[in-house]
Structure 1
Amino acid sequence: MLHQLLAPINSFLQCATPDAWIEKAKQPEQLRSLLIDHCNCELKAAQTAMFLLRKYAVTQESAAIIILWAKPYEDYVYKWIRNISFPEKSIMQSANLTVKKNTPYGQDLVDKMVRLIKEEFHHFEQVLEIMKDRDIPYQNMTAGTYAKGLMSMVRHYEPEALIDKLIIGAYIEARSCERFAKLAPFLDKELNSFYVSLLRSEARHYQDYLNLAESIADGDISERVALIGQHEAQLIQRPDKNFRFHSGNPLKSNK
């Protein structure tokens, strides 16, 4: 079952995660940083999807609704407000949003991104709960350079910019899926089960992003996918002084 799920992911990615990253990630002393950054990654994934909706798919009124969905999570992370109840995901519905006129791909983008947003927020809460159970306090961390490096590939005209952002989203989700699968066997039983449970949604997110890119391009995007994938592989294989969930090859001197 897992092999079937991971086969297209591994075929899509142009390199595997370096063994050195796995060796570092499985060290007990790295668990704290790994979980905090994982928590941040879930929030960033939801924020990215919300940005795409607000910029490309929905009216201003609906954009305001989306901002309200994110507020409790962003207040927790950025304003350090801890006595927060996160919203029920049932309020996050495509039907509550109005698609911009003359946006042929708008409804498909809304449907796929709303589902992704709900799942990423749920994953954020799950990681946070695991951290609390292990007495790992949430804290801000400096961002890695992986996502920024990928975004440097985005073209500056539409709809090519949107297509590139969607392809990049596919690579980030695919890489997350690959790393969850590779790391899970080296973790304790709880984290092993949790990371394996994330594989199906991450694999679907990668496919949703890629399908959206293909639909909006209305043509062959294989050349662009390959080019961005080549850059993604370079980022994953480059020496990296900071250890993050999507960081590159750890420097031997990095402790």
Structure 2
Amino acid sequence: MYQQLLAPVHEFLGCETPESWIEEAAKPERLSLLLIDHCNCELKAAQTAMFLIRKYAVDEASGQLLLEWAKPYEEFVYHRDRDINRFMARDSRKNELAAQLNAKAGFAHGQDLIAKMVRLIKEEFHHFEQVLELMQARDIPYSNIRAGRYAKGLMRQVITHEPQTLIDKLIIGALIEARSCERFAKLAPYLDDELGRFYVSLLRSEARHYQDYLTLAEAVAGADISDRVAYLVVQEAKLIQQEDNEFRFHSGVPSVA
């Protein structure tokens, strides 16, 4: 029922998730780690989008508004005395940006970047809370775990002069969102009904997120970026297909060791 939605995702990515990763992720003993890392990925996605807005698109006052928006989420994750009940019970406007952001002068794509990334942040924060609720219902406590090599491996490919730095980060954002979408679809049939339905429910927003990132990259470049996209697609596929000794939501082929 969602193959039409996934068709452009599969066309964009350089490979499908290896079956060995799916087999590992579907093991009952992996569920806690899978959900904890997924939860972290949702927050990281919001933080990445927030960084791009603050660095490129808004004035200092608006940047501070973004930091305040993120503060409850980051306090929950990074403080040892976190209280999930207090976090989930906070003000009903918890997932809303406090005020309008002001685009700074000198960046032609500021308003478009703000609009797309603010929507993405709001959705990622909501997904973060949804995963937390699932964990709480299953008596899986949140914990800090070390990030895998996937995102770091992609970021090593970023060219360090503008505007190419921004273009590369946007393409990488598209790849991460597309891979997440592909993995949600791959995993859903192997999970229990509740988790399977939840992962399918995420597909539409994740597919749009990757398209938003790619559209922004093309707009900022103002030229054909297909060669750069093709290069980064290959690098992403290598990370997915390489052996990995740590299991994470975006890890590669599980190590036989």
Fold shared, TM-score > 0.5 on shorter chain: yes
* 1:205 to 1:150, Cα distance in 2 relative to 1, 3 A: same
Aligned to 1:34: 34
**Separation in 2, partners of 1:227, 1:251:** 26
Q: Which amino acid aligns with 2:71?
A: K
Cα distance change, pair 107–193 in 1 and its aligned pair in 2 (3 A):
same
1:117 counterpart = 2:110: no
Find out whether 1:73 has 2:73 as its counterpart. yes
Partner letter of residue 136 of structure 1?
A: I
1:126 Cα offset (Å)? 0.1
The answer (yes or no) to whether the contact 2:218–2:225 under 8 Å persists in 1 is: yes
Distance of aligned partners of 1:137 and 1:86 in 2 relative to their CA distance in 1, 3 Å threshold: farther
Q: Residues of 1 paired with 2:92 and 2:68: CA distance? A: 10
Distance 2:94 2:232 in 1: 33
Residue 88 of structure 1 aligns with which residue?
A: 93
Q: Tell me how far apart the structure 2 counterparts of residues 54 and 48 of structure 1 sit (CA, whole Å).
A: 10
Alpha-carbon shift at residue 91 of structure 1 (Å): 2.9
Q: How many residues align?
A: 252
- For the pair 1:145 / 2:149, whether they are aligned, the reply is yes
Q: Which residue of structure 1 lines up, in the alignment, with residue 55 of structure 2? A: 55
Cα deviations across residues 178-235 of structure 1 (Å, max 9, x unaligned)?
Answer: 0000000000000000000000000000000000000110110000000000000000
Amino-acid identity (%)? 64
Judge conservation of contact 1:73–1:86 (CA < 8 Å) in 2.
no
Is 1:64 the equivalent of 2:69? no
| 1:134/1:116 CA distance change after superposition, 3 Å | same
Contact kept in structure 2, 1:89 and 1:118, CA below 8 Å: no
- Deviation above 6 Å: which 4+ runs of structure 1? none
SS at match of 2:144: coil
The aligned residue for residue 190 of structure 1 is: 194
Alignment counterpart, residue 164 of structure 1, candidates 165, 168, 190: 168
Q: Distance in 1 between matches of 2:95 and 2:196?
A: 28
Structure 2 stretches lacking a partner, 5+ long: none
Report the RMSD for the aligned CA atoms in angstroms: 1.2
Contact 1:168 1:228 in 2 (8 A): yes
**1:43 match:** 43
Structure 1 unaligned blocks of 5 or more: none
Q: Tell me what 1:210 maps to.
A: 214
2:24 corresponds to: 24
2:35·2:135 contact (CA, 8 Å) conserved in 1? yes
